[in-house]
Structure 1
Amino acid sequence: MEDKLNLFSFKGKYYILHLTWFAFFMTFVVWLSLGPMMPFIQQALLLSEQQAKVLLILNVAMTIPARIVVGMLVDKLGPKIMFSSILVLGGFVSIVFSWMQSYEQLALVRFLSGFIGAGFVVGIRMISEWFPAKQTGTAQGIYGGWGNFGSAGAAISLPFIASSFGEVNGWRYAITIASMLAISYGIFYYFNVTNTPKGSTYFKPKKIGAMEVSSYSDLGLYVLMNIPLYLALSLLTWKLSPERMNMISLGVEFSIYIVLVLVFVLQIFKTWTVNAQYLKHFTLKQHQYKFKQVAILDWAYLVTFGAELSVVSILAMFYVDWFELPKITAALLAGVYPFINLFARPGGGYLSDKYGRKLTLVVLFSGITLSFLVLGNVDKSWSMYLVVALTIVGGIFSKAGSGAVFSMVPLIQRRLTGQIAGMVGAFGNVGAVLFLTANSLVDYDEFFILISMTSAVVLVLIVIFLEEPKEHMTEILDDGTVEIIKLN
């Protein structure tokens, strides 16, 4: 009989869980160090507000395609080598960024460093290998919730380190120190984990370059579901264009659009070549799964993580603009929001394990829809304490929703877990881009209403189309042996 979850243990699978969430934590410290360091960078290099905003946009742009690519690679190569590589390589790139002298150099290296944010995908596969399905929701929630706290870790520690070194180069030393710690931990991680428990098989896809699907209709849906990823990158490009922030020329803008179209066409071709032989000769029943499950989880994470990332970005300014709070007070109140992740995301995973994946998602998305609908009707005459409480409630539902989404991701098709997690994770970034862009175009109440309405649409999809994982899934070993993986 399977043991009860013991998070205070540091043996076996719990040792892997703790090492892996901290690996994720370190990637977020390095990746999201830009936010808390931006005032220091801006002052030291005399950057304009517009230049600072561009750096923040560039910091997330590469993460969208990187999560797709890393998802493919982790399925093929394993999470051990992938997490270590991201930490080491990401640390070196971050060090290079910290010692750049011109704005153009900063912008280029920051754009390239966006791949560090894809580290999240790697741990999803690692945790799914070590924990049984009945515990995977809680374990994934701990991994995601505690690892996500790396953003708060960077915000708490790095400004203090930068200040202690002085105003001019303090930010350089702070980012360098954090990056060196990430590199060191990446090496430590490699020598202290294995991809699977002893005696278990690490299932791999036959080919990489695109996700395997089970039918022609699934192939069409897969292609369609890639379009929002390219639209998000196009939206980021538009924000940098002469029409908006005027940070790139018209020629560069259209060149990027052309490249995105070409890459999309190339991806369609690759998707067909990967799936052609399976679809023409009928996919073995043991290898079949319904891609609609992946598509619904994509949209679900767009709402949950998109809301989480966008709200934490605008919350302090919302308190200042609507309620005229002092900036320090607003920052402190907004600072409560990231702490919710420590219990809300694991809570969403735990509820999924205990009461079922679909039911938990239905309840949490109902909560997201209602809480953000109320926020969208906030009046400036409302009590400040009530509004803060409402944002916390909305945060609990959205973060718990993220935990619930990733409690189901590993239960769709084991050999494709990295790719599924990569696509779902990328949609989370798409959601952040969508909601933050909307926030720049509309007022705060309309921003909250948009999140609510998007959540309502996804709630309908979950109720009608999402299927609770069945009793088991099967994978076929290289020698033809069929292995049954229990799902509950």
Structure 2
Amino acid sequence: MINIQAQKATKLSLFNLKNVSIRTFWITAISFFMCFFSWFGIVPFMPDVVKDLGLTPDQKWNSIILAVSGTVFARLLIGKLCDKYGPRMCYTFLLMLGAIPVILCGLVQTPTQFLVCRLFIGFIGASFVITQVHTSLMFAPNIVGTANATSAGWGNLGGGANRLGMPIIAAAVVGFGVAEAEAWRYSMVIAGTICFVMGLVYYFFTQDTPQGNLKELRAQGVEIHKKKDEVPFIKVLKDYRIWILFLVYAASFGIELTVYGTMDDYLQNTFQLKRVTAGNIVLSFALMNIFARTLGGFFGDKFGKLKGLRGRVLFLSFILCVQGVMLITFSTTTSIIFGFVFLILFSLSVQMAEGATFSVVPFINKKAIGAVSGIVGAGGNVGAFLAALFLKSKSAIAEKTAISLNNGLSDEVVKAAQSAASSGAVSQGYFVIGFIVLITGFVALAIKFSKEEDTINDASQNTNKNLAESLQPVQIKS
């Protein structure tokens, strides 16, 4: 049966699991968490992988770049597929197929096999797009920014939780008699298996929209978008606002990924912290996703209520500028206390910027939410790819120069010079990136909405609110 009266949720009532929108919110957030957990699951084991497979420094860097690169193409494709087949089937297949390279990563025997697996594991990063599409279809305009930001933020926790979770899984495996050197392999197999199981959960316990699945609705003659209203993909690509948001997400999520991936070494080289201490600081940086993204979406919704769609853009521009200033300031500090303070402020602002971005995305083109989400989401990985290449090149040149200038001296002197050179290069890189983020914040102001779009948005909010308060769901047998 389908419920043609069912409406998008107007509140994020987290414990109302009987509501299909809330149930879908939880399942999509948990699925996204597991995708991120598996995507970066190998990171805590990289020293073991390097030793076991004999990876060179270049192969290690290439594995990081490949994992990010694969996601770009997957995100561009998955958005359009969501519009056509619905988020439920897309997530089901992504989880079940994406589990394969995760499991195979634990079985590799050569560096080439490892690099190939890392490339294909990156495809599960497209889960972010489906998460945003599904919550956009389930929640009303007044709360969609908060719902999008919260589901994405809690999913992103997987990228930090694996620093604790994967070693725990490895320790449990060792407890069953597996050799410690092989524990990383079993951990990846277990993570991949959980992803596969989540694919089954997604298929049986979610639906595309509050009214039902797209396939069932179409069989009943109900269309979310009529054929005449369908938007050609080429028309979506011509909307300049999408490409501004592409840049915005590159400057927010892309930079978060890059900073997250380089901060361990930077803290050790700059402030002489121990690896464990630096790792815990970076972990706390990632765990701020529990609330920081949600704040971005929440304030996006609030500004949208006060000043319409333009209000959402104004807040996005503001928080991006704050992010840029925080990174610039952090890059220049030499005090661990001030460094920690500005790192936390950067973490808060960058994650709020991500949430604010996807409080704007659902309003760019409501007839092609999947395509828009896919393009914007891909921007994050393009930003991470370019920023990683930039920092890698600066650091590599500086380190080689330091080694050359100190050639013939003791290993300790060479290592210290190399560490200082890397710190200086990355610091300069953060400074430049911070200014780019600041400029992007001003560019975001170029996003405009027509009076018609603002009127439709206002009417949509009022309609959903009134229906939610006055209508009781009517069950119609199919």
With normalisation by structure 2, the TM-score equals 0.79
Match of 1:350 among 298, 305, 321: 298
CA displacement at 1:93 relative to structure 2: 2.3
Does 1:472 pair with 2:459?
no
Q: What one-letter code is carried by the residue in structure 2 that aligns with 1:211?
A: F
Q: 1:309 to 1:298 in 2, by over 3 A?
A: same
Q: Which residue of 1 aligns with 2:437?
A: 455
Q: Which residue of 1 aligns with 2:201?
A: 188
Secondary structure, counterpart of 2:233 in structure 1:
coil
State whether residues 471 and 486 of structure 1, in contact with CA within 8 Å, keep that contact through their aligned partners in structure 2.
Answer: no
What is the RMSD of the two structures over their aligned residues, measured on CA atoms? 2.5
Does 1:372 pair with 2:327?
yes
Does 1:359 pair with 2:314?
yes
Q: 1:466 to 1:334 in 2, by over 3 A?
A: same
CA displacement at 1:201 relative to structure 2: 4.5
**Farther off after superposition, 196-205 or 153-162:** 196-205
CA displacement at 1:178 relative to structure 2: 0.9
The correspondence of residues 211-360 of structure 1 with structure 2, limited to 5 A, is 211-213=233-235, 222=238, 291-356=239-304, 357-360=312-315
Does 1:175 pair with 2:193?
no
Determine the C-alpha separation between the residues in 2 that align with 1:69 and 1:122.
11
State whether residues 75 and 205 of structure 1, in contact with CA within 8 Å, keep that contact through their aligned partners in structure 2.
Answer: no
Match of 1:415 among 367, 382, 390: 367
CA displacement at 1:110 relative to structure 2: 2.2
Determine the C-alpha separation between the residues in 1 that align with 2:36 and 2:447.
34
Determine the C-alpha separation between the residues in 2 that align with 1:473 and 1:343.
26
Q: Which residue of 1 aligns with 2:79?
A: 71
Q: Which residue of 1 aligns with 2:138?
A: 130
1:395-422: CA deviation from partner (whole Å, max 9, x where unpaired): 1111100000011111121231111111
Q: What one-letter code is carried by the residue in structure 2 that aligns with 1:320?
A: Q
Q: 1:103 to 1:373 in 2, by over 3 A?
A: closer
Share of identical aligned residues, percent? 29
Q: Which residue of 2 aligns with 1:426?
A: 378
Secondary structure, counterpart of 2:13 in structure 1:
coil
Q: Which residue of 2 aligns with 1:32?
A: 40
Does 1:21 pair with 2:29?
yes
Q: What one-letter code is carried by the residue in structure 1 that aligns with 2:456?
A: H
Secondary structure, counterpart of 1:6 in structure 2:
coil
1:113-156: CA deviation from partner (whole Å, max 9, x where unpaired): 32111111111111111100110010001111000111122221
Determine the C-alpha separation between the residues in 1 that align with 2:378 and 2:303.
27
Secondary structure, counterpart of 1:106 in structure 2:
helix
State whether residues 263 and 282 of structure 2, in contact with CA within 8 Å, keep that contact through their aligned partners in structure 1.
Answer: yes
Determine the C-alpha separation between the residues in 2 that align with 1:355 and 1:209.
28
CA displacement at 1:3 relative to structure 2: 4.9
Q: Alignment length, in residue pairs?
A: 402
Determine the C-alpha separation between the residues in 1 that align with 2:42 and 2:230.
33
The correspondence of residues 200-215 of structure 1 with structure 2, limited to 5 A, is 201-203=223-225, 211-213=233-235
Highest RCO, 1 vs 2 (Cα 8 Å, sep ≥ 6) = 2
Pair member with larger Rg: 2
State whether residues 71 and 420 of structure 1, in contact with CA within 8 Å, keep that contact through their aligned partners in structure 2.
Answer: yes
Secondary structure, counterpart of 1:387 in structure 2:
helix
CA displacement at 1:212 relative to structure 2: 3.9
Q: Which residue of 1 aligns with 2:12?
A: 5
Q: 1:355 to 1:465 in 2, by over 3 A?
A: closer
**Farther off after superposition, 426-435 or 202-211:** 202-211
CA displacement at 1:209 relative to structure 2: 12
Determine the C-alpha separation between the residues in 2 that align with 1:209 and 1:413.
9
Determine the C-alpha separation between the residues in 1 that align with 2:94 and 2:41.
16
State whether residues 296 and 466 of structure 1, in contact with CA within 8 Å, keep that contact through their aligned partners in structure 2.
Answer: no
1:333-365: CA deviation from partner (whole Å, max 9, x where unpaired): 222110111111010000011112112112202
Secondary structure, counterpart of 1:62 in structure 2:
helix
**Farther off after superposition, 92-101 or 72-81:** 92-101
Determine the C-alpha separation between the residues in 1 that align with 2:230 and 2:163.
37
1:424-452: CA deviation from partner (whole Å, max 9, x where unpaired): 11111111112222212331232222222
Q: Which residue of 2 aligns with 1:272?
A: none
Determine the C-alpha separation between the residues in 2 that align with 1:3 and 1:73.
26
CA displacement at 1:161 relative to structure 2: 2.0
Q: What one-letter code is carried by the residue in structure 1 that aligns with 2:454?
A: K
**Farther off after superposition, 305-314 or 459-468:** 459-468
State whether residues 121 and 425 of structure 1, in contact with CA within 8 Å, keep that contact through their aligned partners in structure 2.
Answer: yes
Determine the C-alpha separation between the residues in 2 that align with 1:302 and 1:89.
27
Unaligned ranges ≥5, structure 2: 1-6, 213-221, 305-311, 395-424, 465-478
Determine the C-alpha separation between the residues in 1 that align with 2:227 and 2:292.
33
Determine the C-alpha separation between the residues in 2 that align with 1:209 and 1:365.
30
Determine the C-alpha separation between the residues in 1 that align with 2:11 and 2:154.
20
CA displacement at 1:59 relative to structure 2: 1.5
Determine the C-alpha separation between the residues in 2 that align with 1:26 and 1:35.
15
State whether residues 296 and 462 of structure 1, in contact with CA within 8 Å, keep that contact through their aligned partners in structure 2.
Answer: yes
Q: 1:352 to 1:312 in 2, by over 3 A?
A: same
